[in-house]
Chains A and B, each alone.
Chain A
Amino acid sequence: MSDDRPLSEADKALATQTAEELRAAALAAAESLPVDVHPPTLFDVQEMELNFGPQHPSTHGVLRLVIRVDGERILHTLPDVGYLHRGTEKLFETETYPMGIPHTDRLDYVAAATNNHAYCLTIEKLLAVEIPRRAQLIRVILDELQRLSSHLVWLGTSGIDLGAVTPFWYAFREREQILDFFEEYCGARLTLNCMRIGGLPFDITAGWVERLMEFVDDLPSRIDDYEQLLTDNRIWKKRTVGIGVISGEECIEWGVTGPVLRASGVEWDLRRAQPYECYDELDFAIPTRVNGDTYDRYIVRVQEMRQSVRILRQCLERLPLPPGEFRGKVPRVIKPVAEEVYASIESPKGELGFYCVSNGTNRPYRMHVRPPSFINLQALPRLAKGHLVSDLVALIGTIDIVLGEVDR
């Protein structure tokens, strides 16, 4: 697929210049800039460019932001992503369909199960396979556990960003238990690789269900603990209410999804809007708030955790106890017809989709990820404008980004 458009004159000139010539031209341009005869004094408005990250404790990884500040007020934010780019999308093209699943673990590495799920769902759509009901239920259980653990990581880290250290330890205590459940299920704690095209790699064991039920029964009181520390806390409210307000319309324009969108009053959740697996038969609410500020995003996520508990409970009750089929009829060598499909699920961060172009071989011709973190991050300059540097920290936290997914 070559680009046959003719080059413009400027492009041609640029393409024929050597590096030295370019450097000389840049130097000449810099020297011709007017010299300020009055250097700024202390009392002039002085803009300062502050480099925020990639090695900064609250950028949640290797996000780099170049911010222009006037005092502590942010004039402009420029996210500079790519420090964790590993070429995952290209990697998919080089490997067979089932071999792509472990790569998805490394996208949003605090929510591997939902990544696996979205990938498998896309390939299943391509193959048009039926998933056994047992596998559907277990997938939903794994998804919701993952949502809980992802939200717990978010709660803990964004608490620390605002100086509240204790919720972190409480949240990680429960997350640790969730990881234990994952470990018992598939042997891994973070990079789970816990789904297969057409179903699941393993069936669950009987004791697992009982222990999970116990944990799920215990969870609401634990969530109360976090809320006790934060929800009505005066300082927490001061730091979050009215910070980074974004309206529902703007969210839609920016393509923002997930809790950020729902906190702005748009009741859009793919589990309800485009039900996959068995979500359409489950009874759960979609928490929304109207103000679209950081506090509302906090409330929405906490309430989502409570809804996840409800979903988990229903799934565990519906799970047919005698072990049954947990993998659909999938050919040994997966060679889908040449087609283009897109499938997406509601990941903890928003709409996570995979766009797959198949050319009839056993490898995808092209695979594109629609990462919610990356697209939500684009709204950060809009959210941060006019706020203070301290708020920037809160805002990075409230978008809930994972750099593995942003950079892919």
Chain B
Amino acid sequence: MKVLTPTVLTYLKVVILVAVVPAVVGFVIVLAERRLMGFMQARLGPNRVGPKGLLQGVADLLKLVTKEDITPARAEKAVHFLAPVLAVVPALTALAVIPFGPAVRIGRIRTPLWVADINVGLLFLLAITSIGVYGIILGGWASNNKYSLIGGLRSAAQLVSYEVPMGLALVSVLIMTRSLSMVEIVLRQERLGLWFVFPGLLAFFLYFVSGVAETNRNPFDLPEAESELVSGFNTEYSGVKFAFFFLGEYAAMIVISCVAVTVFFGGWLPPFPNVPALDFLGVVPPFGWFLIKTGFFIFCYIWFRSTFPRYRFDQLMALGWKWMIPLALANIVIVALAVLLTPGRSDGMFVLSYIFGGLFVLMFLLAKLRRKLARRERLAAVPASAPEAT
């Protein structure tokens, strides 16, 4: 078994990632999205191709691959070709630093379930995912179409704005981990016996909302707002190039979900790893836990899509700059103070967890009350019957 040196194993893992992720996107996520949305929208969704519609992904893929690949006249040919590639490659590259699970043993080989554990993992992630923006901007610009251009420019502004709260939200977690390595972040959560989502509840919300905005999904899907921009940046794309944009979007969704799981939800750890009463949760292998959690966030994406209307562009920017960035900055200060001012260092995180948890419940109840009052007021505004009618 001298062939399978660590280097060879790493290459092998890269190949698996590049081959598996597109397949997962095609077969599982797209199908799940369409079936789930169907379920939420009182309809069936695709159920004709293969048993229960399971082969819908194959049909979609065949359709996209066999379609004519059109490059509009007067488009920037090279850039038009390059843009979809730029949308996919960074998203797939980002997966390299995601720890999917601890070391596993297959026969006599023992290997961790990550491609690379680099000491600047999180920074690398933020850097490499930002490159994906270029795909969309350049695609919109190179198409020589006004609607595409507006879509591309919208995404430029949107993605740049939302990277700021996203990065700031992650900074507050870094204060607690004191490490940028993705593996170290998970191990730290194991040692503490606490997922960072509890002390970092606010950070998590900020991160995930920015993440949804980063991936151009509802309610932030402005660059491709169908009803306004007729698909925006990808209007002039067809065939394989369009499939690449599609793949890029879904791969980015996976990356955002994986990072959320790793940083905030303990990666491959089962819930509350330090509570002995919950030891039975160990029957699910660590990789299983990772998949379950990631799947949940992907479900959230789909859920949002079928629930929310779309923000308007200026409102989106206002939300990012006027709410999320100040909140993220305040959050950093709060977390830093909590960590520094408590003697045991980790005690502060527990205090924070209680505070954030309490605030969350309070806000939830208040929102419910407000909704109820608004409804009552609205119903009172309509006269029950016309005064002159008898």
* CB contact between A165 and one of B41, B225, B311 (< 8 Å): that residue: B41
For chain B, residues 362 to 380, give those with C-beta under 8 angstroms from any C-beta of chain A.
371, 374-375, 378
Binds B, one of A181-189, A235-243, A399-407: A235-243
| A285 and B384 form a contact (CB under 8 A) | yes
| A318 / chain B contacts, CB cutoff of 8 Å | none
* CB contact between A72 and one of B313, B315, B384 (< 8 Å): that residue: B313
| B371 and A390 form a contact (CB under 8 A) | no
Shortest distance from the beta carbon of A314 to any chain B beta carbon, whole Å = 10
* Interface size class, chain A: 35 or more
User: 13 A-B contacts, Cβ less than 8 Å apart?
Assistant: A56-B230, A72-B150, A166-B306, A169-B41, A169-B43, A235-B308, A235-B310, A239-B310, A284-B385, A285-B382, A286-B386, A389-B150, A390-B222
- The answer for the CA separation of A162 and B313 in the assembled complex, in Å, is 12
- The 3 A-B pairs of least Cβ separation, nearest first, read A163-B310, A169-B41, A164-B309
- The answer for the CA separation of A161 and B308 in the assembled complex, in Å, is 12
| B312 / chain A contacts, CB cutoff of 8 Å | 238-239, 388, 390-391
For chain B, residues 77 to 132, give those with C-beta under 8 angstroms from any C-beta of chain A.
none
| B315 / chain A contacts, CB cutoff of 8 Å | 238-239
* CB contact between B313 and one of A58, A161, A173, A390 (< 8 Å): that residue: A390
- The answer for the CA separation of A342 and B73 in the assembled complex, in Å, is 54
* CB contact between A163 and one of B40, B146, B308, B374 (< 8 Å): that residue: B308
| B221 and A287 form a contact (CB under 8 A) | no
For chain A, residues 279 to 294, give those with C-beta under 8 angstroms from any C-beta of chain B.
282-287, 289
A252 adjacent to chain B (CB < 8 Å): no
Given A165-B305, A239-B315, 19 further pairs, Cβ under 8 A? A48-B146, A72-B150, A161-B227, A162-B309, A164-B309, A164-B310, A166-B41, A173-B42, A233-B308, A239-B312, A282-B389, A284-B386, A285-B385, A285-B386, A289-B381, A306-B382, A388-B312, A388-B314, A390-B228
B226 adjacent to chain A (CB < 8 Å): yes
- The answer for the CA separation of A168 and B307 in the assembled complex, in Å, is 11
| A57 / chain B contacts, CB cutoff of 8 Å | 226-227, 230
Q: Which residues of A contact B (CB under 8 A)?
A: 48, 50, 56-58, 72, 159-166, 168-170, 173, 229-233, 235-236, 238-239, 272, 282-287, 289, 299, 303, 306, 388-391, 393
| A303 and B382 form a contact (CB under 8 A) | yes
* Max chain B C-beta neighbours (<10 A), residue from A50, A165, A169, A232: A165
| A50 / chain B contacts, CB cutoff of 8 Å | 146
B135 adjacent to chain A (CB < 8 Å): no
| A58 / chain B contacts, CB cutoff of 8 Å | 227-228
| B375 / chain A contacts, CB cutoff of 8 Å | 231-232
| B227 / chain A contacts, CB cutoff of 8 Å | 57-58, 160-163, 393
Chain B window 220-234, contacts with chain A (Cβ cutoff 8 Å), 1 for yes, 0 for no: 011001111010000
| B230 / chain A contacts, CB cutoff of 8 Å | 56-57
| B40 / chain A contacts, CB cutoff of 8 Å | 166
B390 adjacent to chain A (CB < 8 Å): yes
* CB contact between A235 and one of B146, B309, B384, B389 (< 8 Å): that residue: B309
Shortest distance from the beta carbon of A395 to any chain B beta carbon, whole Å = 12
Which B-chain residue is minimally distant from A168 (CB atoms)?
B41
Which A-chain residue is minimally distant from B231 (CB atoms)?
A57
| B306 and A165 form a contact (CB under 8 A) | yes
B218 adjacent to chain A (CB < 8 Å): yes
Contacts A162-B309, A388-B314 known; A272 to B386 CB distance under 8 Å?
yes
| A388 / chain B contacts, CB cutoff of 8 Å | 312-314
B219 adjacent to chain A (CB < 8 Å): yes
For chain B, residues 190 to 223, give those with C-beta under 8 angstroms from any C-beta of chain A.
218-219, 221-222
For chain B, residues 295 to 342, give those with C-beta under 8 angstroms from any C-beta of chain A.
305-315
Shortest distance from the beta carbon of A74 to any chain B beta carbon, whole Å = 12
| B389 and A284 form a contact (CB under 8 A) | yes
| A170 / chain B contacts, CB cutoff of 8 Å | 41-42
| A164 / chain B contacts, CB cutoff of 8 Å | 308-310
* Max chain B C-beta neighbours (<10 A), residue from A166, A231, A303: A166
| B390 / chain A contacts, CB cutoff of 8 Å | 283
| B150 / chain A contacts, CB cutoff of 8 Å | 72, 389
Shortest distance from the beta carbon of A64 to any chain B beta carbon, whole Å = 14
- The answer for the CA separation of A303 and B306 in the assembled complex, in Å, is 24
- The answer for the CA separation of A408 and B308 in the assembled complex, in Å, is 36
B383 adjacent to chain A (CB < 8 Å): yes
* Max chain A C-beta neighbours (<10 A), residue from B218, B227, B230, B315: B227
- The answer for the CA separation of A393 and B225 in the assembled complex, in Å, is 11
Which B-chain residue is minimally distant from A50 (CB atoms)?
B146
Shortest distance from the beta carbon of A71 to any chain B beta carbon, whole Å = 9
Shortest distance from the beta carbon of A393 to any chain B beta carbon, whole Å = 5
Shortest distance from the beta carbon of B262 to any chain A beta carbon, whole Å = 29
* CB contact between B218 and one of A163, A173, A232, A389 (< 8 Å): that residue: A163
Which A-chain residue is minimally distant from B308 (CB atoms)?
A235
| B219 / chain A contacts, CB cutoff of 8 Å | 163, 235
Shortest distance from the beta carbon of B210 to any chain A beta carbon, whole Å = 16
| B43 / chain A contacts, CB cutoff of 8 Å | 169
Contacts A232-B374, A235-B219 known; A287 to B389 CB distance under 8 Å?
no
| B42 / chain A contacts, CB cutoff of 8 Å | 169-170, 173
| B311 / chain A contacts, CB cutoff of 8 Å | 235, 238-239
* Max chain A C-beta neighbours (<10 A), residue from B219, B374, B385: B219
Shortest distance from the beta carbon of B235 to any chain A beta carbon, whole Å = 11
- The answer for the CA separation of A58 and B230 in the assembled complex, in Å, is 9
| B307 and A166 form a contact (CB under 8 A) | yes
- The answer for the CA separation of A231 and B389 in the assembled complex, in Å, is 29
| A238 / chain B contacts, CB cutoff of 8 Å | 311-312, 315
- The answer for the CA separation of A231 and B373 in the assembled complex, in Å, is 13
| B385 and A239 form a contact (CB under 8 A) | no
| B221 / chain A contacts, CB cutoff of 8 Å | 163
Shortest distance from the beta carbon of A53 to any chain B beta carbon, whole Å = 10
Shortest distance from the beta carbon of B227 to any chain A beta carbon, whole Å = 4
Shortest distance from the beta carbon of A154 to any chain B beta carbon, whole Å = 14
| A299 / chain B contacts, CB cutoff of 8 Å | 378
- The answer for the CA separation of A285 and B228 in the assembled complex, in Å, is 36
* CB contact between B309 and one of A236, A285, A289, A389 (< 8 Å): that residue: A236
| B306 and A163 form a contact (CB under 8 A) | no
Shortest distance from the beta carbon of B333 to any chain A beta carbon, whole Å = 27
Shortest distance from the beta carbon of A168 to any chain B beta carbon, whole Å = 8
| A232 and B307 form a contact (CB under 8 A) | no
- The answer for the CA separation of A390 and B305 in the assembled complex, in Å, is 18
Which A-chain residue is minimally distant from B383 (CB atoms)?
A285
Contacts A57-B227, A169-B42, A390-B225 known; A283 to B378 CB distance under 8 Å?
no
Which A-chain residue is minimally distant from B372 (CB atoms)?
A232
| B386 / chain A contacts, CB cutoff of 8 Å | 272, 283-286
Which A-chain residue is minimally distant from B229 (CB atoms)?
A389
| A282 / chain B contacts, CB cutoff of 8 Å | 389
- The answer for the CA separation of A160 and B306 in the assembled complex, in Å, is 11
Shortest distance from the beta carbon of B356 to any chain A beta carbon, whole Å = 21
